[in-house]
Amino acid sequence: QLRYRPVLTQDPPLEGQTTASTFVLDQPRCVFEGYGNAVIWLVVALEQATSTFNNTAGPGTAETAFQDFPDPVRAYMTLNATLGSYPCPKPAGDITVLRVGSETSCTRDATRPTCNGPLPGPGPYKVKFLALEGSVPVAETAWSVPIALRTAKPPSKISTSNGHSADMIAITTILSILFAILLAGLVAMLFFWGSDCGGSSTFSKPESVTVRRYNTHHVYDQPAARL
């Protein structure tokens, strides 16, 4: 029995730490040192079923199959890994979390009883890590504290008369009034422009220009003075 207790990941803060069908755990780094030949399994159980879980029940059997969880199976085993998957100390840049419930393709696939499928309800659940050498349990952690998943609000309990809605109605009303004023001004402008361009216009006849005629005085050559 190891003193380690699985916990929801806290560092760094992670969006979606719990959802309606998943939760995220820290990996058990530096927990199973000395059990290099073991396969480490995650046990997921209903809170009230932890006291009756049989740690000798083999993974992938009818007694621990995900597809029959939570009834009649009250605890299933998933996310098996060797110690090499949880190196100690943690190399820089390593992802050190486990998302429980992330697989959807094997939810109803009876040939994959160790499926890491979506959790069927809000719980609460408890988890622990179990190390097996062959089918023999050699080490296990303590159970986690109860983990409750998120639940969606029924449509009947969603308020539609909150402050945000009132603000949006006021803004929409003001914008509608301004748009109506702008549209009216635009129509009036187009109307006046149409009147100026398409209405009856008076064209005055251009004044006639009088050009005074000048007679050119012909200059006749005088006969040269006779000498």
Residues with Cβ within 8 Å of residue 19, at least 6 apart in sequence: 149, 150
Per residue in 143-162, pLDDT (tens digit) is: 999 999 998 766 555 555 55
Q: How far apart are CA 77 and CA 57, in angstroms?
A: 9
Residue-level pLDDT at 170: 74
Q: Of 59, 199, 53, nearest to 126 (Cα)?
A: 53
Could you state, in order of their start, the residue ranges of all structural domains in the chain?
A: 23-151
pLDDT digits (tens, 9 = 90+) for 161-203: 554 566 677 788 888 888 888 888 888 787 777 666 555 555 4
Percent of the chain with pLDDT over 90: 56
C-alpha dihedral, 58 to 59 to 61 to 63, nearest 10°: 80
- Record the tokens describing residue 86, joined without a space: 């949880």
Question: Which pLDDT belongs to residue 54?
Answer: 92
